[in-house]
Amino acid sequence: MTSSSNDSNSSSKTINLLNNGEFTSRDVSSTTVGELRNELEIPTNANVNVGGTIRQNDFALTDGAYVAYTSNDKVGGVVRIKIRLVK
């Protein structure tokens, strides 16, 4: 009996990557955050969040993980500050 599975796809994962404010499915071959940085060309100074928590490069990715990254060199935007005056 021969197997019809393709070994080249056995290590691929589908992650949910935050892109323009919404999560989209993306197939990746990375198994760790560090490999994902290389695969997606994520800057080394960016924070990578998996499941809402900042993760280090050795963190293992799982199929279906929710991933977002933010670069620390962003400029511009609007800052809103809520001030409460105490009498």
CATH of the domain at 46: 3.10.20.30
Summarize pLDDT for 11-28 with one digit per residue, the tens: 799 999 998 889 999 999
Q: Domain limits at 51?
A: 11-70
User: Is residue 20 a part of any domain in this protein?
Assistant: yes
75 part of a folded domain: no
Number of compact structural domains in the chain: 1
pLDDT at 61 over 50: yes
pTM over 0.85: no
Q: State residue 21 phi and psi, 5-degree precision.
A: 85, 0
Give a yes or no: residue 62 inside a domain.
yes
Name the residue type at position 75. Answer: V
pLDDT class of 4 with cuts at 50, 70, 90: very low
